[in-house]
Chain A
Amino acid sequence: MPVILATDLIIYAVFLATVFLAFSAGRGDGYLKQVWRHIRKDRLAVASMLVLLAYGGVALMDSIRWRDPVVAEDGKMARTAEGEKIFSAEPLSLLDRALSGVKEKTEKTFSAPLARRLFVKETMEPQDGKAVGAGLQVIRDYPPLKYPGTHLLGTDKVGGDVLFASLKGIRTGVVIGTGTTVIIIPFAILFGVMAGYFGGVTDDVIQYVYTTLSSIPGVLLIVAFMLIFGGGGYEGGLVTERNLLWGFFVPGDRLFWLCVIMGITSWTDLCRIIRGETLKLRELEYVQAAKAFGVSRPRIIARHIVPNVMHLVLITLVLQFSGLVLAEAVLSYIGIGVSPQMGSWGNMINTARLELSREPAVWWNLASAFAFMFALVLPANIFGDAVRDALDPRLRMGRR
């Protein structure tokens, strides 16, 4: 029984868009091909793109999920009185299933990466000869792991695999990084182009709206919004009938609302940029020529304005990505981000931040969350620069 979250749709949309862009960059001799030729020359950017694609692949795997039918004790499918199959409450994604071995092999508590024993001493019965020889009934020692060699990056406080938790954080990071912009793109284009092209009262109203929105401190707007809308929806983990629409669709998970509100706070920038560009384009000669041909305004906007602001949309998408991934961690730390049931690096950092002050310090939880985040943000920054350079030579910046 498939389960689709609203945020899954974002991942699917980004996936399809990537396939489309790759396809159109590969054939013909249009604009995208030029852009790709430019990016291709930069080996670092290409390497970064591969890393991003790998992250995207994990996020996609983690966004295809379904619920298994419950198998009754007699080995048959459990059914309701009406004869319908009963499904488990926990939807498992492809990623969960692929790594089920690691996921289910939990230890008791902390263990260091690749350790053979737990990180914390326990009172236990001696198991080998020398302790017996010393005449002790019980000793305090580091107990051996149940599954030594399984946990490459160690385990956390409740014995969960850190590598698995970090991998689960990928989907959240990618959703926040792309979803926020994806959700707002239609609105930013619509309002930005309208404000720039029509001017007058339309422009005044739209400018008023975005000045008002941007004058509210972003974090507080997010806080207010999340306190009010964030609760009650699906927060990850088990699904209930209350969350489901049509039996498989989860319309508003908490992560989705987070994307929406972060989108609203960052919408203004893109809208302002598009408005400015439209103002310039409106006066350009090819738009004037179209007017002289009596081409209707909607058609001028669709053919001459929108295609020529799309590069700004793409630039914004890649440049905002890294900032948004970093912001998610901060919001989760403040307690208004992703719910703890849905894995995220912010939550990992939040639960692990006091572990450094233990004696000896437990560092791998934090280190792994930061490393996974860094390994996403750094390529995103490098690739973002390359995309911007290729799309808009006027804004050339950073590495050359």
Chain B
Amino acid sequence: MTMTPVVEVKNLKTYFNTPEGLGRAVDNVSFSIERGRTLALVGESGCGKSVTALSIIQLIPRPQGFIAGGEVLLNGRDIIPLGEREKRKIRGNKISMIFQEPMTSLNPVLTIGSQITEAIKLHQGKSSSEARAKAVDMLEKVRLPEPGRMFHEYPHRLSGGMRQRVMIAIALSCRPDLLIADEPTTALDVTIQAEILNLIKELQREISTAVLLITHNLAVVYRNAENVGVMYGGKIVEMAGVKTLFRNPMHPYTLKLLRCVPGMEKRGRMLDTIPGTVPPPTEFPEGCRFSGRCHREMEGCGTIEPALSEKENGHAAACHLYDPEFMNKPLSRPLLALESARPAPVNVPHEKRTTILEVQDLKYYYPVKKGVFKKTSGYLKAVDGISLTIKKGSTLALVGESGCGKTTAGKAMIQLLKPTGGTVVFDGKEVTGMTPRGIKPYRSLMQIIFQDPYSSLNPRLMVGEIIEEGLKSLRPEMDGKARREKLSRILDMVGLTPDMMRRYPHEFSGGQRQRIGIARVLVVDPRFIVCDEATSALDVSVQAQILNLLKSIQRDFGLSFLFITHDLSRVEYIADEVAVMYGGKIVERGTVEEIFSSPKDPYTVKLLSAVPRIETV
């Protein structure tokens, strides 16, 4: 059965004028979506997915950005040449959009109701009371409790998930032909994420709208789309049905991307990585955009651009590998064995390990102040009596949604925050209640790696000074020469070169910054490291590099990790044991196998079932 597509994008080009030059953010992108179907655009940050979305709804930030060519056909009519008035009739009516950040996407000073009725009144010419009834109906459809009351509520009273429901209500109130969902769940907790995606799917079926789903999460694609386009460097490099693509990825980038994602089935092996980082749109290479990072690169890939063409039934890829003319060309680099072929270091069997950290009934309370004299009226129990043990050379993952107290717990364990109660015993010594002087020897043994590669490095210090700081503070007896030797050894180990010591953090990419953060910690010879969402801000391919690095330093130094994260795929891959945290308490503890195969606590069950998975790989 062939249907006429609702939306057809042909050779779309959207360029940006930047101080660094012309950025070809979207370059010759074509695809189409049929009624009731979902196309996912997937790729790492900076590959042009969001710009594609904004080009379709004609909201490119001007004057820097402009559409340099191509057509966007909505029901067969090109909307690019239309006047602004005509475009406004389409926006919010025929094409509507949901954005990534629910917390900032709603106007804080207008009620939910008025923000929904606005679009209804504008596009459907309804009276206020009709629009109101319609809005309440929409609020009910997106399953917000008490729609009548919700209508008069302001956005700040709603949680992120609820706000995203409101955004969906606004977007679908005029029954659009196309709904663009730009990373609709990235900012949300994993349990909410599944609910929101299901809601979109259900409403899509009801009004049979086409959906363009933009995401960086391959598992979300697998669960929620029929067709998928993989974007890299402003181009679609591979396009296929979801099942086909995941079963048989053709483009080397897609292949690598799938192998980068951590998961249960990759335990015991290293993750595949893509060398380097995604280039910014002003610095895309000549020829194939992926050249320079590709493991199958051949002579000519760096000069001749491959076109996207159908290779098999409905499966298109833009790669010279499938090009008869390139069949016998030599590779530009020797084909290395995939890293995933390498086994990850085997750890000491779990039972035989000794305990390095023992936490008993740890509490951290924030005082809540109220009244005329700001008296402490109560406490916010961020961490409410958690107990756990971490074995030498092993990894414990602390998982839970945002605000469950996992980061606070991690900081309290290494005495970065002074616990309100409970004890922490490190290697047989109680470290809680120590004086600042007494704790100092333990500062080098217990360390922390932070999430944000940008705010974790002081921008005014050179990299060398940053890494040296811990040594200077904790090993004052060490002389300059010994320090420098140690520094260059550690830099080498984390994959940085000694000349980088005299440079400033702003000159480095996110992944490199995270390596600097790891080097800073390793240099003081820690035994136990808290990794606080240490890879959450990174692209998948870079995350794999960092996870591999963490694994290998764990082996080389016999380190123990407390791995704080909200992403369960990382947990499955890297952890030995898991503790699930909810509302300041640990609701379930066990080995990865126990927890993932037979969870007992209802919250754990809900958490695990909410995680999207790719089953074909």
Report whether chain A binds chain B: yes
Q: Contact residues of A with B, CB < 8 Å?
A: 29-31, 34, 41, 284-286, 288-296, 299, 303-304, 307-308
- Are B452 and A295 within 8 A (Cβ)? no
- Are A295 and B458 within 8 A (Cβ)? no
- Are B469 and A292 within 8 A (Cβ)? no
CA distance A77 to B458 in the complex (A): 62
CA distance A41 to B450 in the complex (A): 36
- Are A304 and B439 within 8 A (Cβ)? no
CB within 8 Å for A294 and B440 given contacts A31-B459, A286-B457, A303-B458: yes
- Are B458 and A308 within 8 A (Cβ)? yes
- Are B448 and A295 within 8 A (Cβ)? no
- Majority secondary structure, A binding face: helix
- Are A290 and B469 within 8 A (Cβ)? yes
- Are B504 and A289 within 8 A (Cβ)? no
Q: Does B77 contact A (CB under 8 A)?
A: no
Q: Which 8 A-B pairs have the closest CB atoms?
A: A285-B456, A294-B443, A285-B450, A293-B470, A307-B460, A286-B458, A295-B473, A294-B440
CB within 8 Å for A285 and B452 given contacts A304-B458, A308-B460: yes
CB within 8 Å for A294 and B439 given contacts A285-B455, A286-B457, A286-B458: yes
CB distance from B19 to the nearest CB of A (A): 8
CA distance A303 to B470 in the complex (A): 13
- Are A293 and B460 within 8 A (Cβ)? no
Q: Mark B338-373, 1 if CB is under 8 A from A, else 0.
A: 000000000000000000000000000000000000
Q: Which residue of A lies closest to B517 (CB)?
A: A289
Q: Does B571 contact A (CB under 8 A)?
A: no
Q: List 19 A-B contacts (CB under 8 A).
A: A29-B503, A31-B504, A34-B506, A286-B457, A286-B466, A289-B448, A289-B450, A289-B517, A290-B473, A292-B447, A293-B473, A293-B474, A294-B444, A294-B474, A295-B473, A299-B473, A304-B458, A307-B458, A308-B460
CA distance A291 to B456 in the complex (A): 12
Cβ-Cβ contact count across A and B, 8 Å cutoff: 68
- Are B469 and A295 within 8 A (Cβ)? yes
CB within 8 Å for A308 and B459 given contacts A29-B503, A288-B416: yes
Q: Which A residues are CB-close (under 8 A) to B448?
A: 288-289, 292
CA distance A284 to B507 in the complex (A): 20
Additional A-B contact list (8), CB under 8 Å, known A30-B504, A41-B19, A303-B469: A289-B450, A289-B517, A290-B469, A292-B446, A293-B444, A294-B444, A307-B458, A308-B458
CB distance from B409 to the nearest CB of A (A): 15
Q: Which residue of B lies closest to A311 (CB)?
A: B460
Q: Which B residues are CB-close (under 8 A) to A307?
A: 458, 460-461
CA distance A253 to B470 in the complex (A): 49
CA distance A29 to B503 in the complex (A): 8
Contact partner of A291 (CB less than 8 A), chosen from B416, B444, B460, B507, is B416
CB distance from A216 to the nearest CB of B (A): 26
CA distance A308 to B461 in the complex (A): 10
- Are A294 and B473 within 8 A (Cβ)? yes
CB distance from A345 to the nearest CB of B (A): 39
Q: Which residue of A lies closest to B505 (CB)?
A: A286
Q: Which residue of A lies closest to B524 (CB)?
A: A293
Q: Which residue of A lies closest to B436 (CB)?
A: A294
Q: Which A residues are CB-close (under 8 A) to B414?
A: 292
CB distance from A392 to the nearest CB of B (A): 12
Q: Which A residues are CB-close (under 8 A) to B470?
A: 293
CB distance from A233 to the nearest CB of B (A): 40
Q: Which residue of A lies closest to B414 (CB)?
A: A292
Q: Which B residues are CB-close (under 8 A) to A41?
A: 19
- Are B469 and A288 within 8 A (Cβ)? no
CB distance from B540 to the nearest CB of A (A): 22
Q: Which residue of A lies closest to B461 (CB)?
A: A303
CA distance A289 to B466 in the complex (A): 10
| Interfacial residues of chain B within 509-534, with CB under 8 A of chain A in the complex | 517, 520, 524
Q: Which residue of B lies closest to A299 (CB)?
A: B473
- Are A293 and B459 within 8 A (Cβ)? no
CB within 8 Å for A293 and B458 given contacts A29-B503, A31-B504: no
- Are B504 and A286 within 8 A (Cβ)? no
| Interfacial residues of chain B within 420-454, with CB under 8 A of chain A in the complex | 436, 439-440, 443-444, 446-448, 450-452
CA distance A4 to B504 in the complex (A): 42
- Are B460 and A288 within 8 A (Cβ)? no
Q: Which residue of A lies closest to B458 (CB)?
A: A286
Q: Which residue of B lies closest to A307 (CB)?
A: B460
Q: Which A residues are CB-close (under 8 A) to B455?
A: 284-286
| Interfacial residues of chain B within 457-487, with CB under 8 A of chain A in the complex | 457-461, 466, 469-470, 473-474
CB distance from B367 to the nearest CB of A (A): 12
CB distance from A172 to the nearest CB of B (A): 35
Q: Which A residues are CB-close (under 8 A) to B460?
A: 30-31, 307-308
CB distance from B509 to the nearest CB of A (A): 17
CB within 8 Å for A286 and B456 given contacts A29-B504, A292-B414, A294-B439: yes
Q: Which A residues are CB-close (under 8 A) to B440?
A: 294
- Are A288 and B443 within 8 A (Cβ)? no
CA distance A288 to B470 in the complex (A): 12
Q: Which B residues are CB-close (under 8 A) to A299?
A: 473
- Are A293 and B443 within 8 A (Cβ)? yes
- Are A289 and B456 within 8 A (Cβ)? yes
Q: Which B residues are CB-close (under 8 A) to A288?
A: 411, 416, 448, 450
CA distance A291 to B417 in the complex (A): 10
Q: Which B residues are CB-close (under 8 A) to A295?
A: 469, 473
Which one of A292, A295, A308 has the greatest number of beta carbons of chain B within 10 Å? Answer: A292
CA distance A303 to B474 in the complex (A): 16
CA distance A34 to B504 in the complex (A): 11
| Interfacial residues of chain B within 524-564, with CB under 8 A of chain A in the complex | 524
CB distance from A198 to the nearest CB of B (A): 15
Q: Which residue of B lies closest to A297 (CB)?
A: B436
CB distance from A187 to the nearest CB of B (A): 22
- Are A293 and B469 within 8 A (Cβ)? yes
CA distance A31 to B507 in the complex (A): 11
CB distance from B375 to the nearest CB of A (A): 15
Which one of A41, A286, A307 has the greatest number of beta carbons of chain B within 10 Å? Answer: A286
